[in-house]
Amino acid sequence: MAWDFSTDPEFEAQLEWIREFRNEQIAPLDLLYPKLPYYPLEGDLGVYVRSLREQVKARGLWAAHLGPELGGQGFGQLKLALINEILGGSNWAPNVFGTAAPDTGNAEIIAHYGTDEQKEMYLQPLLNGECFSCFSMTEPHAGSDPKMFTTEAVKDGDEWVITGSKYYSSNARTSKFVIVMAWTNKDTSAYQGMSMFLVPSDTPGIEIERHIGMFSEHEDEGMHALINYNGVRVPAENLLGGEGQGFHVAQTRLGGGRVHHAMRSVGVMRRALDMMCERALSRETQGSLLADKQMVQSDIAESYAQLEMFRLLVLQTAWKIDQHHDYKLLRKDIAAIKFMMPSVLKDIVWRSMHLHGALGVSNEMPFSEMWQWAPSMSIVDGPTEVHKITVAQQVLKGYKPSPGLWPTEFLPPRREWARKVLDERIAALKTGAPA
Ligand SMILES: Cc1cc2nc3c(=O)[nH]c(=O)nc-3n(C[C@H](O)[C@H](O)[C@H](O)COP(=O)(O)OP(=O)(O)OC[C@H]3O[C@@H](n4cnc5c(N)ncnc54)[C@H](O)[C@@H]3O)c2cc1C
């Protein structure tokens, strides 16, 4: 029976290298240039980051989410989870390791659905780390319900003409191309009537109305664009996947993305717990260390158990993906980690931040970004409620209503049944007949 939670020593050595590389080589970038990982690499910074990427490639760790045919290692989701756990919480690490969102998901769908020409033109530069990409699906009036989207693409000769508005399109600012979801047949359902298009970012008619920032970011720092597509023309061959396959393509993309976010979140949780424990052992008040106070111990214990439970759920889901290679089959598992992630993250980061007192809420500790990650994660790739609905619906599929008025576990008839069975069996034993 295979039931093993260990990491083989060879891969553990890789993980150890990644840990040290992140702490020694990438941390300076996170501390000095936290906002820059999604901007084109320029000057001395570009020289430094490219040298880091070369080391990652030499170590065989570049683009670990991809199979060997696309320049990755084909590690699978479980190993990727262990890698992402280390990269999580570092702004620059995904860029340095070639696993930054939304490029990872975009690369996956182009690899999966793209033609040879599309792969050469859009996928290859992405995999080489030469450009950024953007995924443009959410609309200003509708996010959680794609059925409400209105952006449309109409065929005109050899071209598609795209018209509509999209909200929160991450990295539009620096992207070389955008993947846009639009209706191509409004006479059918959203599941069959939408398609995906590859649109170079400099195509006439693309108007970025503004770059939306998050929380306290300055107006000019926002990375999530409100985009108007004003009759944007692309050649017919820019359709990604078949006509009407848009919803399907989006599901493929989001399935993987949700797991990757969960893996990175485990890294953030671990960091918050580490900080909490160090502080508890360092700070003394009211005659003893914080670590000796029972309420603090309770917080540490709760945080540890929540983290380990969530981590196991993520690793098990990653393992299942490796076994079945089918995101649809695993939608319950993926939705479960998606909705658990922000709540566990919020609990652990909150306790850690709180234990640091005034220092915790100051801008001299890294809590504010960790803390903002939680509410963002409860929205990005679909809000918590929608994923809970998915889990509940999938779980309920395994059940039937009780056959009569009373539940099948209703005790009076169960006891009656037990009494009858026991009486018969004991009687049989007494007479020597087979029970
Ligand atoms: C950091 C970040 C990056 C993003 N990047 C991208 C991107 O690159 N490309 C892109 O296309 N989109 C992107 N998005 C948008 C994201 O996908 C949407 O925000 C998300 O799908 C939710 O849509 P909405 O914001 O319109 O919320 P709404 O659909 O308006 O939902 C708002 C709230 O209503 C409630 N709600 C919604 N549905 C239900 C329900 N069925 N039952 C009960 N309550 C419900 C929930 O409380 C929910 O939080 C990003 C979002 C964030 C935060």
Q: Is 137 in the pocket of ligand 1 (CB under 6 A)?
A: yes
Q: Is residue 409 a part of any domain in this protein? A: yes
**Span from the CA of 138 to the centroid of ligand 1 (angstroms):** 8
Candidate from 29-33, 60-64, 291-295 with smallest mean pLDDT: 60-64
> Do 37 and 95 form a contact (C-beta atoms < 8 A)?
yes
Same domain? For 365 and 428 the reply is no
- Please tell me the residue having the least CA distance from ligand 1 atom 24: 143
Which atom of ligand 1 is least distant from the CA of 171?
8
Span 303-323, pLDDT tens digits: 999 999 999 999 999 999 999
Q: Is the CB of 138 under 6 A from ligand 1?
A: yes
Average pLDDT, the chain: 94
**Whole-number pLDDT of residue 90:** 93
What is the mean pLDDT of the segment spanning 1-12?
89
| Whether residues 280 and 351 fall in one domain | yes
1 domain-assigned: no
CATH of residue 306 = 1.20.140.10
For residue 212, pLDDT beyond 90? yes
Q: Determine the residue of 104, 144, 147, 229 to mutate for testing ligand 1's pocket, defined as the one with the most ligand atoms within 8 A of the Cβ atom.
A: 144
Same domain as 60, residue 30:
yes
C-alpha to C-alpha distance for 333 and 344, rounded to whole angstroms: 16
288: pLDDT strictly greater than 70? yes
143 pocket-lining for ligand 1 (C-beta < 6 Å)? yes
Q: Whose CA is nearest to atom 50 of ligand 1?
A: 380
Ligand 1 binding pocket includes 168 (Cβ within 6 Å):
yes
Which domain, by its residues, includes 188?
A: 132-240
- Check if 140 has its Cβ closer than 6 Å to any atom of ligand 1: no
Whole-number Å distance, alpha carbon 375 to ligand 1 midpoint, is 11
Which residue's CA is the closest to the ligand 1 atom numbered 27? 143
414-431 in b/e burial notation, b at 16+ Cβ within 10 A? Answer: eeeeeeeeeeeeeeeeee
Q: Do residue 252 and residue 318 come from a single domain?
A: yes
Q: Is 367 within a domain?
A: yes
Residue 435 has pLDDT above 70, yes or no: no
- More reliable by pLDDT, 70 or 348: 348
State in Å: Cα 390 to ligand 1 middle: 15
What is the residue with the minimal CA distance to atom 9 of ligand 1? 169
> Which of 188, 48, 195 lies closest to 109, judged by CA?
195
Domain limit, last residue, from 214, 240, 266: 240
Across 127-141, average pLDDT = 94
- The closest alpha carbon to 310, from 263, 346, 350, belongs to 263
2 domain-assigned: no
pLDDT in tens, 76-125: 899 999 999 999 989 999 999 999 989 988 998 999 999 999 999 999 99
Higher-scoring residue by pLDDT: 198, 129: 198
CB 198 within 8 A of CB 247: no
β-pairing verdict for 206-212 and 224-235 = antiparallel
Per-residue model confidence (pLDDT) at position 67: 83
Domain end (from 240, 257, 288): 240
Q: Are strands 175-183 and 224-235 parallel, antiparallel or unpaired?
A: unpaired
Number of domains in the chain: 4
> Where a domain ends, among 190, 222, 240?
240
- Distance (Å) from CA 112 to ligand 1 centroid: 25
Is residue 254 scored above 90 in pLDDT? Answer: no
For ligand 1, is residue 375 a contact (CB within 6 Å)?
no
Q: What's the pLDDT score for residue 173?
A: 94
The pLDDT, as a whole number, for residue 413 is: 96
Whether 252 and 375 share a structural domain: yes
User: How much is the average pLDDT of 267-283?
Assistant: 97
Q: Which amino acid is at 64?
A: A
pLDDT, position 233 = 98
Atom of ligand 1 nearest to the CA of 166: 11
Within a domain: residue 4? no
**Residue 382 — very low, low, confident or very high, per pLDDT cuts 50/70/90?**
very high
Residue 136 has pLDDT above 70, yes or no: yes
| Three-class DSSP category at 370 | helix
Residue 178 sits in a domain whose CATH number is 2.40.110.10
Pair 261, 163 in one domain: no
Whether residues 258 and 390 fall in one domain? yes
Residue with CA closest to ligand 1 atom 16: 380
Distance from chain centroid for Cα 40: 24
- For atom 44 of ligand 1, the residue with the nearest CA is 385
Centre of ligand 1 to C-alpha 141, Å, is 10
Instruction: Mark whether 84 and 179 lie in a shared domain.
Output: no
CB proximity list for 94: less than 8 A, separation 6 or greater:
37, 87, 100, 101, 104, 264
The answer on 171 and 199 residing in a single domain is yes
Q: Given its phi and psi angles, is residue 53 left (phi above 0), alpha (psi -120 to 50 degrees) or beta?
A: alpha
Query: What per-residue confidence (pLDDT) applies to 201?
Result: 98
Q: 255 falls in which pLDDT band (50, 70, 90)?
A: confident
Q: CA 160 from chain center: how many Å?
A: 31
Supply the pLDDT for residue 259.
Answer: 85
Looking at ligand 1, which atom is closest to the CA of residue 378?
Answer: 49
> Would 428 be classed as within a structural domain?
yes
Residue among 106, 138, 264 to mutate when testing ligand 1 (max atoms within 8 A of CB)? 138
Give yes or no: residues 267 and 385 share one domain: yes
Residue at 345 is within a domain: yes
Whether residue 91 lies inside any domain: the answer is: yes
pLDDT at 74 > cutoff 90:
no
Q: Whose CA is nearest to atom 48 of ligand 1?
A: 383
Could you tell me the distance, in angstroms and rounded to a whole number, from the CA of residue 229 to the centre of ligand 1? 20
Other Cβ atoms less than 10 A from the Cβ of 324: the count is 11
Q: Answer whether 70's CB lies under 8 Å from 63's CB.
A: yes
Residue 11, both tokens: 């891969």
Q: Is 144 in the pocket of ligand 1 (CB under 6 A)?
A: yes
- The pTM for the full model equals 0.94
Shared domain for 358 and 385, answered yes or no, is yes
386 in contact with ligand 1, CB cutoff 6 A: yes
Is the CB–ligand 1 distance for residue 342 below 6 Å? Answer: no
DSSP lists the bridge partners of residue 423 as none
Distance CA 196, CA 151 (A): 11
Nearest CA to ligand 1 atom 25: 143
Tell me how far the alpha carbon of residue 376 lies from the centroid of ligand 1, in angstroms. Answer: 9
Average pLDDT value for residue range 155-173: 97
Q: What share of the chain has pLDDT > 70, as a percent?
A: 100
For atom 41 of ligand 1, the residue with the nearest CA is: 386
Do 354 and 416 lie in one domain? The reply is no
3-state secondary structure of 404: coil
Judge whether 19 and 83 are in contact, CB under 8 Å. Answer: no
CATH of the domain at 85: 1.10.540.10
Say what the pLDDT of residue 187 is.
Answer: 95
